[in-house]
């Protein structure tokens, strides 16, 4: 809408410049009088008495989870969702994490982006080693 309005204003300015330059020419070479252009801008307004309310953008809500099922060897926190990504750290069994809702399928596993409760580490872990915290 703003782009269209800018285009209309630009056309009107160019038209006005052309008319102004035409008036500066000598009378012998003057072109016919310019034609007046009308621009009608159509907008849609809300029904009377109603004020549009923007819908809020949902923000991802992290879920509190704990590391489980590693047999005591811990869970690798990786830089990205997949086995080829570098290991950032190993999370001990029972570590509390905040898991974000987005999940990615890669290397036959479902990966979740997580952050340690203290905020020290953030990365991706295999979702099968996470359980909801009590």
Catalogue all structural domains in the chain, each as residue range(s) with its CATH number: 63-132 (2.30.30.40)
Residues across the chain: 134
Answer yes or no: are the C-beta atoms of 31 and 22 closer than 8 Å: yes
Q: What is the pLDDT of residue 62?
A: 85
Answer yes or no: are the C-beta atoms of 8 and 41 closer than 8 Å: yes
83 φ/ψ angles, rounded to the nearest 5 degrees:
-65, -30
- 23: Cα separation from own chain's centroid: 51
Specify the pairing of strand 87-91 against strand 75-78.
antiparallel
28-45 tens-digit pLDDT:
555 566 666 677 777 666
Q: What is the pLDDT of residue 9?
A: 72
Percent above pLDDT 70 for the chain: 59
8-19 tens-digit pLDDT:
676 666 666 555
Q: What is the pLDDT of residue 5?
A: 63
Instruction: Write out the chain's pLDDT in tens, 134 residues.
Output: 666 666 667 666 666 655 565 555 555 555 566 666 677 777 666 666 666 667 666 666 889 999 999 999 999 999 999 999 999 999 999 999 999 998 999 999 999 999 999 999 999 999 999 999 87
Q: Compute the distance between CA of residue 104 and CA of residue 98 in angstroms, rounded to an integer.
A: 16
Answer yes or no: are the C-beta atoms of 111 and 125 closer than 8 Å: yes
Q: What is the pLDDT of residue 61?
A: 80
> Please, what's the b/e burial string for 4-42 (b: 16 or more CB within 10 A of its CB; e: otherwise)?
eeeeeeeeeeeeeeeeeeeeeeeeeeeeeeeeeeeeeee
């Amino acid at each position: 809408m703003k782009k269209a309005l800018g285009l209309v204003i630009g056309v009107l300015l160019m038209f006005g410049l052309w008319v102004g330059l035409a008036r500066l020419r000598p009378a012998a070479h003057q072109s016919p009088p310019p034609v007046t252009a009308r621009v009608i801008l159509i907008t849609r307004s809300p029904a009377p008495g109603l004020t549009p309310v923007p819908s809020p953008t949902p923000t991802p809500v992290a879920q509190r989870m704990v590391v489980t099922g590693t047999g005591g060897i811990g869970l690798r926190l990786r830089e990205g969702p997949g086995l080829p990504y570098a290991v950032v750290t190993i999370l001990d069994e029972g570590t509390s994490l905040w898991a974000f809702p987005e999940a990615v399928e890669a290397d036959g596993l479902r990966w979740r982006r997580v952050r340690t409760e203290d905020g020290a580490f953030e990365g991706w872990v295999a979702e099968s080693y996470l359980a909801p915290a009590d």
